[in-house]
Structure 1
């Protein structure tokens, strides 16, 4: 049947939340400790740039954008989230989702995408750089996780349309 990308809807939330929690459980995806409830997640993400990847009728990944600020001057700047189910990693799911986010973000007036990635998350770093993100800095000891200070690499991709 193949891999398809669909708009993320509330009906997808149980699978999206499960995949999010898988990423959280790696300890290298996010500072978040528990996948939030739908309402909380929904409020924090752009409505027009959220997608799921479906492989042979099974939801295997998701991607979405979050505004980085409520200030109007940053209306075109968003943070990227891409999560792939453990069993689907290494099959091009993340690449397809991230490319869809890039394409749709430009269609929706977003001129800068940014990603904060733990240095240990080499797969995510490789994927983002492959699709044109550039490393712009390191946020050293930006937060603690289980009592350990963590660094986050900051990457961005600027749209050529703006």
Structure 2
């Protein structure tokens, strides 16, 4: 397994992994799949300090993790939010922990002070994954999302760098 910075050519693979979660799960609150153009723009916006890492297995992208700005206001500039997605058939192999650990290291090397994660409330595997690399729960936002006819909580997690 190779962990590396994403390249423009990875946009379609990232889009495929992400869109499967948009249409089939509540781990993202997006309701509409991304087009390839939207995915390319998303990837372009995460260059420099706001990195995207991919996990590659035998030349195929099977997961990704990203850093995004936490909030727009300048005082938040040293805080980032991370996201992580693993292709369904690759889960349970330690890939999530490897990617998450590496994106935390990237955030630290880039000089960020803290990293946030927002996890849908019932996703115990993701909450456990984040705990395993040093994130702690700092709050729960009750019924802030609605998808597939259900109200969804968000568990807010944080790791100081």
Do both share a fold (TM > 0.5)? yes
CA RMSD of aligned residues (A): 1.6
SS in 1 for 2:11: helix
Quote the Cα distance in structure 2 between the aligned partners of 1:34 and 1:44.
19
Quote the Cα distance in structure 1 between the aligned partners of 2:28 and 2:55.
20
Identify unmatched segments of 5+ residues in structure 2. Answer: none
1:9 corresponding residue in structure 2? 7
Q: Give the number of equivalent residue pairs.
A: 157
TM-score by length of 1: 0.89
SS in 2 for 1:32: coil
SS in 1 for 2:53: strand
2:120 corresponding residue in structure 1? 118
Note the alpha carbon deviations across 1:94-153, whole angstroms, 9 max, x for none.
111111111010110111111111122121111001000000110011122234221100
Following superposition, the deviation at residue 44 of structure 1 comes to 5.1
Note the alpha carbon deviations across 1:8-54, whole angstroms, 9 max, x for none.
11100111100111222342211012342224423654544211001
Quote the Cα distance in structure 1 between the aligned partners of 2:59 and 2:31.
29
1:62 corresponding residue in structure 2? 64
State how 1:5-154 maps to structure 2 within 5 Å.
5-36=3-34, 37-42=38-43, 45=46, 47-48=48-49, 49-154=51-156
TM-score by length of 2: 0.90
Q: Is the 8 A contact 2:65 2:85 kept in 1?
A: yes
Identify unmatched segments of 5+ residues in structure 1. Answer: none
